[in-house]
């Protein structure tokens, strides 16, 4: 099967984010699943306002182009107050506008996240799925990935130290690869 390019968005802006660690771990495990993961940064996007729709700032045009340049999107999100972080919602707003130029339409997406809490980022992921559904983005619904983060489970270098988590993440990426292949067979990028 083909190798697919996947842009990932980390919902947290924090440099020490545990979700950034998770993204690094996924990047290290992805080649085995025939996925080429690269971050699409959201940090520099200003707050979205429809006043910009007529003339997007360069950073927002570049952001939208980065999404257009990949086969699929993977969201790696924390949970803030039982929802997605404002920075991530802001990025989605930029990418989905102006009306008729939604970057997520027909773009295969996956959602994953980690939190110290027992249910991981389950509630945030459900909110994110609702937003992406409105954006007409095909979503991988299984395998769901609500990872409880424990100190040391992922090293600063992105190495997973727990064998069962590593196998789970490998399986998640294999399933995501299969999902992307199915979606792009039915909804080719050039259509």
Q: 4-184: which CATH architecture?
A: 3-Layer(aba) Sandwich (3.40)
For the chain, which residues make up each domain, given as ranges? 4-184
Q: What is the 3-state secondary structure (H, E, C) of the chain?
A: CCCEEEEEEECCCCCCCHHHHHHHHHHHHHHHHCEEEEECCCCCCCCCCHHHCCCCCHHHHHHHHHHHCCCEEEEECCCECCECCHHHHHHHHHHHCCCCCCCCCCCCEEEEEEECCCCCCHHHHHHHHHHHHHCCCCECCCCCCEEECCCCCECCCCCECCHHHHHHHHHHHHHHHHHHHHHHHHCCCCC
Q: Residues 122, 168, 188, CA angle at the centre, nearest 5°? A: 80
- pLDDT higher than 60, residue 191: no
pLDDT band (50, 70, 90) for residue 188: confident
pTM (two decimals): 0.95
User: In this predicted model, what pLDDT tens digit does every residue of 130-177 receive, in sequence order?
Assistant: 999 999 999 999 889 999 999 999 999 999 999 999 999 999 999 999
pLDDT given at position 120: 87
């Amino acid at each position: 099967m083909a190798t697919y390019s996947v842009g990932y968005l980390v919902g947290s802006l924090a440099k020490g984010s545990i979700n950034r660690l998770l993204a690094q771990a996924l990047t290290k495990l992805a080649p085995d699943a025939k996925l080429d993961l690269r971050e699409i940064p959201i940090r520099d996007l200003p707050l979205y306002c429809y006043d910009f729709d007529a003339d997007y700032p360069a950073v927002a045009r570049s952001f939208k182009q980065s999404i257009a340049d990949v086969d699929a999107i993977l969201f790696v999100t924390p949970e803030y107050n039982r929802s997605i972080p404002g920075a991530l919602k802001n990025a989605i707003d930029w990418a989905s506008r102006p009306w008729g130029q939604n970057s997520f339409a027909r773009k295969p997406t996956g959602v994953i996240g980690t939190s110290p809490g027992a249910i991981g980022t389950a509630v945030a992921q459900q909110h994110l799925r609702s937003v992406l559904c409105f954006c007409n983005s095909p979503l991988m619904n299984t395998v769901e990935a609500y990872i409880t983060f424990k100190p040391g489970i992922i090293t600063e270098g992105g190495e997973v130290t727990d064998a069962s988590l590593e196998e789970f993440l490998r399986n998640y990426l294999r399933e995501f690869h299969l999902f992307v292949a199915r979606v792009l067979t039915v909804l080719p990028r050039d259509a």
